Structure 1
Amino acid sequence: MHTDAFDYNLLTVFDAMLRERSVTRAAAQLGLTQSAMSHALNRLREFFDDPLFVKTAAGMTPTIKAEALSETVLEVMTAMRTRVLPQASFDPATMQRTFTLCMTDMGELVFLPPLMKRLRVVAPHCKLRSLQVPVPQIEALLASGDADLLLGSVQTAPESLFRQQLFMHGFVTIVSTKNRQVREALTIEQFESMPHVTVSLAGRTSPSYDAAFESQGLKRNIYLHTPHFLSIPLLMEQQPELIATVPEELANVFSRYGIVRVVKPPVALPPYALSQYWHPRFHHDPAIVWLRQLVKQTFDSYPETDVSSDARPVPRRAKSGRSKRNT
């Protein structure tokens, strides 16, 4: 780096001379020849109009001016070594950091367990924090760094965010294990007559399967809207006549606890994409790049995975020939 009058690379020469008190040893530390080191030292002397380091019995001793400059030079070089350079050589094994992820309570069940398992192995000093926030607040949180990634399926994600598709999952219907009326699949009559529980997340559009039901002419008897996925199986345990259509992976988690069971809905429902989103400000941040790679690798083996190597801003309209489904 240079200004009109000063080459900032000379600060490393000054720093080495302060610590080594020897032109020969300072040159060896910086990987310079002794001639190049002497030339750089002469440039420093010329700029500051001072010898800076003079030969004594104790070695190259700093002058009064060099002593006055030494504290500032050491502070600058320490900041470079401890704050700037580590950003270019990110080491997850030694880093201590809390990563913040925006997700729903469903996301906590689906994403967090496998992520926690991997994180504890490859980055044992890092921690996780999850947030559930309305869609209008997501961009500001990611832009400020108060959140690192958004994980989930957000049809109305801001256009400015980058998105990478992780895997595809479909929708299934769940019923209480106490419900004896429904067998392996729901009939259309059962589906339309039984009371439904649906999840309405703050700031989100209707579930993507709504259009599929409407196109088939199906009418749901919606009894309860709730913002929480996790309450559904508990409600069904108390009210066995309730049914709900939820993401398949979530239904599989619920069914492990023996409260609900998975059945086929009466019509085929389109799959949906679970993705990770991040702000362009942190697109090249080494820690966030590593975190995105960890998330991608964690869910590479999930069913119907469709993860591409590159990421693009989320397109809402066709721009420059970009495909809406490419990530």
Structure 2
Amino acid sequence: MRAMHIRDLDLNLLVLFDAMLRERSVTRAAAEVGLSQGAMSHALNRLRTFFDDPLFVKTPAGMEPTQKAVQMGTTITEVMTALRERVVSQASFDPATARRTFVICMTDMGELVFLPPLVSCLRKVAPHCTVRSVQVPLEHIEATLAAGEADLALGSVRTAPDGLYQQQLFLHTFVTMVSVHNKTIGTTISRAQFEHAPQIVVSLTGRASAAYDSAFEEYGIKRKVFLTTPHFLVVPHLIHAQPDLIATVPLELGNVFAKLGTVRIIPPPVPLPPFALRQHWHPRFHDDPANIWLRQLVKLTFDRYPEIDDDS
């Protein structure tokens, strides 16, 4: 037999071989791949010529594979399965049938705000998909998204690299959080009380937030920062343990913490400008069907949430 090379094989014929292996019938295999019975027979003859083997022989039980066809069948089935699941599926994304894990960069605050409604939506429309949240330092977010190690970054990434796409989801305002046992501060807090109270500041970088600082500096307010932490979750527990401590946090986070019953929220002593929460993604995956679908779901879920008017 003459030497054969892969370029001599019409790879579309492997689709027909795979159908024949499963259906054991020329008629049924032809119907599955959308060919006439005559065209299917012609394609089967081409396969027989290429492999120099009958491949499928007629028996009372149907078209049974030869020993050579059985030997090749395992490999060809694996190849076709991989092509369907890993290549062809990338051309579109069907949330109802897709099986994949979406990885999203977010802080612990992001988990409290974003995950509950997002998980609820995903379980309804993409029941076979799973979610994994990861906390990534700001300076590593671009590389993480570029490498495909995460699909999106959600939150207030004020120093996001210019190379990332971004889309605003909603605006957040701020509230001041105090202990329910703090008797010196009522339903409002004066500037003097605010400046006097020891404060907790949450900062992912270990430094005070530029947004907080610039706003307070405009009013000439000096904060007495007692603790700086990168974690939001510890704040209500610290305030509960030390009732004189206060913290200024995003509104929705304050609402979540207030439900614990250990802290309450009040307006800060001066109006603070809202900040935007956005989703960020890398240009490499801008046209990826699954990424597009996820971004649309996130936008739909959080569009205008929590209904704070943007007059800009």
Q: State the TM bucket, normalised to the shorter chain.
A: 0.7 to 0.9
Aligned twin of 1:208: 211
Q: Provide, for residues 227-283 of structure 1, a one-character-per-residue CA deviation record: whole Å limited to 9, x for no partner.
A: 221222222223222222111111111222232222222322111111122233333
Query: Which residue of structure 1 aligns with residue 221 of structure 2?
Result: 218
Asked if 2 retains the 8 angstrom alpha-carbon contact of 1:166 and 1:306, the reply is no
Give the distance between the partners of 1:28 and 1:225, measured in 2 at CA: 67
Distance 1:120 1:51, change over 3 A: closer
Per the TM alignment, residue 198 of structure 1 is displaced from its structure 2 partner at its CA by 0.9
- Per the alignment, do residues 110 and 256 of structure 1 end up closer, same or farther by CA in structure 2, a change over 3 Å counting? same
CA offsets 1:277-305 (integer angstroms, 9 cap, x no match): 22333334444333333322322362236
1:203 Cα shift? 7.2
Q: Call closer, same or farther: CA 1:53–1:145 in 2, change over 3 Å.
A: same
Distance 1:258 1:57 in 2: 76
| Alpha-carbon contact 2:200-2:226 (below 8 Å) kept | yes
Alignment partners' CA distance in 2, 1:125 and 1:23:
34
One-letter identity of the residue aligned with 2:295: R
What is aligned with 1:177? Answer: 180
* Aligned sequence identity (%): 62
1:84 matched residue in structure 2: 87
2:122 counterpart residue number: 119
* Structure 2 match to 1:318: none
Corresponding position: 1:32 with 2:35? yes
Q: Compute the displacement of 1:94 (Å).
A: 4.8
Query: For residues 138 and 288 of structure 1, what CA distance do their matches in structure 2 show?
Result: 16
1:265 maps to a residue whose letter is P
Corresponding position: 1:192 with 2:195: yes
Q: Contact between 2:208 and 2:228, CA under 8 Å: does it hold in 1?
A: no
Whole-angstrom CA distance in 1 between matches of 2:111 and 2:235: 15
In 1, Cα distance between equivalents of 2:244 and 2:289: 51
Q: After TM superposition, give the deviation of residue 168 of structure 1 in Å.
A: 0.8
Query: Structure 1 stretch 226-235 or stretch 295-304: which is displaced more?
Result: 295-304
TM-score (norm 1): 0.77
Which one of 101, 105, 119 corresponds to residue 102 of structure 1? Answer: 105
1:147-172 deviation digits (Å, cap 9, x = unpaired) = 33222101112333222221111112
Q: Is the 8 A contact 1:17 1:23 kept in 2?
A: yes
> Partners of 2:130 and 2:70 in 1: how far apart?
43
Give yes or no for contact 1:200–1:226 (8 Å, CA) kept in 2. yes
CA–CA distance in structure 1, aligned partners of residues 222 and 198 of structure 2: 11
The question of whether the paired residues in 1 share the 8 Å contact of 2:206 and 2:228 is answered with no
Cα distance in 1 between the residues matched to 2:259 and 2:86: 46
Residues 165, 282 of structure 2: 8 Å contact kept:
yes
Which residue of structure 2 lines up, in the alignment, with residue 75 of structure 1? 78
Query: RMSD value over aligned CA atoms?
Result: 3.3
Contact 1:166–1:305 (CA<8 Å) still a contact in 2? no
Match of residue 261, structure 2, among 252, 258, 263: 258
Amino acid at match of 1:275: R
Q: Which runs of 5+ in 2 are unaligned?
A: 1-5
Deviation at 1:124, TM superposition (A): 4.0
Give the aligned length: 305
User: SS state of the match for residue 158, structure 1?
Assistant: coil
Change (3 A) 1:51 1:233: closer
Structure 1 residues 4-55: Cα deviation after superposition (integer angstroms, max 9, x where no partner): 6443222223333444555444333322224433454455456x27464577
Q: Quick one: distance in 1 between partners of 2:242 and 2:149?
A: 40
Q: Does the CA contact (< 8 Å) of 1:134 and 1:203 recur in 2?
A: no
Q: What 5-or-longer segments of structure 1 have no aligned partner?
A: 308-324
Query: How many angstroms apart in 2 are the aligned matches of 1:286 and 1:205?
Result: 39
Kept after mapping to 2: 8 A contact 1:18/1:62: yes
User: Contact 2:173/2:275 (CA < 8 Å) preserved in 1?
Assistant: yes
The equivalent residue for 1:313 is: none
Mapping for residues 1-327 of structure 1, pairs under 5 Å = 5-20=8-23, 22-41=25-44, 43-44=46-47, 48=50, 50=52, 52=54, 69-88=72-91, 90-202=93-205, 206-300=209-303, 302-304=305-307
Task: Provide closer, same or farther for how the CA distance between residues 88 and 301 of structure 1 changes in structure 2, counting only shifts above 3 A.
Answer: same
